[in-house]
Amino acid sequence: MSPTIAAPVKLADAIRALAMDAVQQANSGHPGAPMGMAEMAEALFTRHLRHNPADPAWPNRDRFVLSNGHGSMLIYALLHLTGYDLPMEELRKFRQLHSKTPGHPEVGITSGVETTTGPLGQGLANAVGMALSESLLAAEFNRPAHKLVDHHTYAFVGDGCLMEGISHEVCSLAGTLRLSKLVVLYDDNGISIDGKVENWFADDTAKRFEAYGWNVVRVANGHDVEAVHAALAQARKLGAEHGRPTLVICRTVIGQGAPTVAGTDKVHGAPLGAEEIAATRAAIGWPYPPFEIPEAVYAGWDQRRAGAQAQAEWQQSFDAYAAKFPAEAAEFMRRMKGALPANFAAVAEKLLSATNEKAETVASRKASQQAITALVEILPEMLGGSADLTGSNFTDWKGVAAVRAGADGIQFGRHINYGVREFGMAAIMNGMALHGGYLPFGGTFLTFSDYSRNALRMAALMKQRVVHVFTHDSIGLGEDGPTHQSIEHASSLRLIPNLSVWRPCDTVETMAAWLAAVERPTSIGMDVHAGGPTALLLSRQNLPFVARSAETLKQVARGGYVLQEADGTGGAKAAIIATGSEVALAIEAQKLLAAEGIAVRVVSMPSTDVFDKQDAAWRASVLPKGMPRVAVEAGVTAFWHKYVGLEGAVVGIDTYGESAPAGALFKHFGLTAEKVAQAVKNIL
């Protein structure tokens, strides 16, 4: 129990004071949400949340996600007050350059922040992913009398989060999968930036979530700590009894405590001003100057002792588990750290060599499935899925079990049927990666990457190792027509910083792409590495295998390399740069030009971002200065002038596609060996 605090000072008022003072000092921010959710936060952090401020990466901690991330001063105040490594000086530097208190919470910047939030609804989706990871890890590692994995995921959401379409995608799935250890607290204050939400958000939220299969608990007064505490206790009880996630609806007043602006949009996203802050201090009985917290309040908030005890108890349990199941314990810790098996590099080399020796001509989506089938045997943390396109994306493998809801908890599997929820899938995968223990990958058509775009960006921003399998990558999709044919997508994805994009030309490059994706370093909590997500752009149609020497095989990992050098002693007069299905066109064009006495080299560039990271000497060896260049890709042309210059040429498509068989479309749009050969001759 928290020490008694002399009236009229309340623990929650410390949050209000810190929030309004920090926003005022920064002259920007959102004071209303932290002030309105203060009692909700007090009830959760002091009475229910199992966490250890001294070890924010403790594997069995409860996860907390502030989905309405604009209310960032709430979590900064909480982390500071409960004992995390976030000194008051950092709160004074709220929203300032290189502070640990950025405008929206950022994982890896602030100790105790579980995910980066700001784009509304995605934090909620991340929380679903975390809860799903907890359920699956428990099913995978727990043994009778040994609960290695046993924790809850809590999320705070606002009206904005629940207005976003992604909230429907992920909450529907969470209900279907019966994620009973997920508890979401809804800050029901009726206000968004534009004013009273009743004019544009009149849903019956309780009925909506009941329809998803959630428990719903109402708190008439979200400023009553005891009422919120009781609701959280009920939520945990209902989750355990009924096997469902729970929504706790807390009716609150935005900016609670501010005498003239509470309950209005005026307190949403602007400082209160000196006069209103003074009036608020008087109204809530907070006589202390800015950024000053009395020791009694600190004592009431401090969770270091309780957190250390909770972790020590878990460690004792873990030690008993490890004594009985040493291999499982070691595997669990390896996976929670995101480390690859010690022998992975050697295994990867063998896989690439075996793929080269097999010399198969298949669609790269099929080559991807073959790579997955090999990798899942080595990496049990790999967890696949698809947005209702499993039979097209080939993200499953022989014998894999699907994740399903069971009467006694989740039925363990390694493939998730996400349903038609591309955005939700991408954001859930982010949450799973953030939780630790799994390497998630999911599939859809490349064109529909548009649906998941912001979650892709968030994965890149957070440096999370997730893999997106985007199949049907061009007009090669054929008869489905322009709505399904990717034109601008490959180039636009390449523009996302830290997203590694691969468009492989055959089985070898596909295996290399998968190995590169898996080998990207993981970032968990404050342990941040220069890794991130990967997008694999894969064909529907068969792509011919290209023979390579042992030396050339090693060069694939560089992202761009000379696949076929020009014949003859005179050396190449030009270079043809190609990716994916168009590499075959480049090779055919090389033959046509050779017949005319024009020697050219074929450069395969499956990953432009990986190639760009190579040293200058390598890049110059592949694309020598002064060598005329032609690029060919079944997509928009503008991106490729980065490599061919203004004097070079690009063979591509700058219009939308058509509905017709793939062969007819490639000819119609001029994606032929003859056109590529002519483009070379035009620049010589």
The verdict on whether omega for the bond into residue 56 sits within 30 degrees of 0, i.e. cis, is: no
Computed from CA positions of residues 594, 598, 603, 608, in that sequence, does the dihedral angle turn out positive or negative?
negative
Helix (H, G, I), strand (E, B) or coil at 167: helix
Q: For residue 146, what are the β-bridge partners?
A: 143
Location of structure tokens 């890049």: 619
Catalytic residue among 381, 422, 582, 633: 422
CA count, 13 A, side-chain hemisphere, 680: 30
CA distances from residue 379 to 139, 172, 524 in whole angstroms, order as listed: 17, 29, 18
Of 63, 71, 301, the closest CA to residue 187 belongs to 71
DSSP strands (E only) in 114-242: 153-157, 182-188, 191-192, 195-196, 215-219
Neighbouring residues of 605: CB distance < 8 A, sequence distance ≥ 6: 559, 560, 577, 578, 579, 611, 643
Cα dihedral 196, 166, 64, 146, rounded to 10, equals 140
Task: State the Cα–Cα distance between residues 324 and 193, nearest whole angstrom.
Answer: 55
Sign of CA dihedral 298, 71, 130, 214: positive
- Has 422 been annotated as catalytic? yes
The DSSP output letter for 620 is H
Contact 440, 466 (CB under 8 A): yes
Backbone angles phi, psi at 601, to 5 degrees: -100, 150
Q: Are 445 and 455 in contact (CB under 8 A)?
A: no
H, E, C per residue of 77-136: HHHHHHCCCCCHHHHHCCCCCCCCCCCCCCCCCCCCCCCCCCCCCHHHHHHHHHHHHHHH
Q: Is 684 helix (H, G, I), strand (E, B) or coil?
A: coil
Task: Name the strand (E) or helix (H) holding 532.
Answer: none
Q: Which long-range contacts (CB under 8 A, 24 or more apart) does 617-620 make?
A: 618/558, 619/560
> 558: which residues sit within 8 A by CB, 6+ positions away?
610, 611, 614, 618
Cα–Cα distances (Å) from 401 to 16, 33, 91, 433, 647, in that order, read: 49, 43, 48, 20, 53
What is the sign of the dihedral through the CA atoms of 258, 260, 265 and 268?
negative
Q: In residues, how long is the chain?
A: 684
CB 655 within 8 A of CB 675: no
Q: Are 244 and 177 in contact (CB under 8 A)?
A: no
Q: Cβ contacts of residue 254 below 8 Å, gap of 6+?
A: 32, 33, 35, 36, 189, 190, 191, 262, 263, 264, 267, 268
The pair of structure tokens assigned to 243 is: 């096997």
- Active-site amino acid positions: 422
